[in-house]
Structure 1
Amino acid sequence: MGFFSIFSTFRKSNVFNLVFRSAQLIVALVVIGMYAVDLNTANKEDKYADSKWVFAVTVGSLAAVTALIFSLASIFFQYRTVALLFAWDWVLTILFATLSGIFGSMYIGEKVEYESGVHRMKVAVGFDFTGLILWCVTAAFGTWWFVSERKAERRGRGNKA
């Protein structure tokens, strides 16, 4: 029973958090992979690394590490502990919005034709938007939880007075 006894105290909020964080981790790893291809190519050709691509890989890396840490936290702690970190979710939401804006404006209107790099970047923009949505959902849910807990605490203190 040992290891699986951790899951006996799971609540719906922990499962929700674990599912969303796993999806965020997958999206972040895909974002890293999609943009790192161009950085690797530039490095092999002794060209400079474009700051937009460095930004994309940095955002993906921050998102991957955060999703991994938050998903592990949801296994070992109650949702309350993880939800208090909702401000960082908003920071990542803003970073993914910026990333989506930068690359969306560059590649959404482009015609793919025979250019595989453009097609790959269009797919990457799709993952940027997916990351934006996932991080926005967890940030909004964490904010909602934080505000509702504060209201409940205030109501509880009001009844004692």
Structure 2
Amino acid sequence: MRRIRTGVTAAALAVAMAISMAGGALAAQERGPVTNLPIPRFVSLKASEGNVRRGPSLSHRIDWVFKRRDMPLQVVGEYGHWRRVKDRDGAGGWVHYSLLSGVRTVLIEQDMVPLLMKPDPKAPVNAQLEMGVVARLDECRLDWCRIGAGGYRGWVPSDALWGVMADDQRR
């Protein structure tokens, strides 16, 4: 009798762990209640200035203003016409959806990153990108992303970028 109880307890624990793990997987695939798009996801700032508010309405206080067109932002929440966003430093708030674009951009996180002609560390270098450069994201493959900046296009390691999620690197 004792062994059966222990087995049942172990089985119950295994089921509870499986449910917990599935819940984590479901959280990673969360969808926005307004757009039905994945949350979190990346977008870019469409305007040259965007008010960041404390809450999702015009009556909420403006905490600061994003002042960099095409800056990548991470959408972490939705409410009506408002999107809760975070920047690279984790700072954020609520921004009206009309100020955001679905065009994907990334931020270079390392200084003097070589922009390569192919996704290969031995490939010829097209240019070198300084830390803080905003680039347009074309595509990602495994650990590499093809980007464009300053009239140049090429490949960089994805770990040198902010604005790329694991799902982007599936090919």
Shorter-normalised TM range: under 0.3
Please give the TM-score of this superposition, normalised by the length of structure 1: 0.22
Judging by fraction of residues, say which structure has more helix.
1
Please give the TM-score of this superposition, normalised by the length of structure 2: 0.21
Larger radius of gyration: 2
Judging by fraction of residues, say which structure has more strand.
2
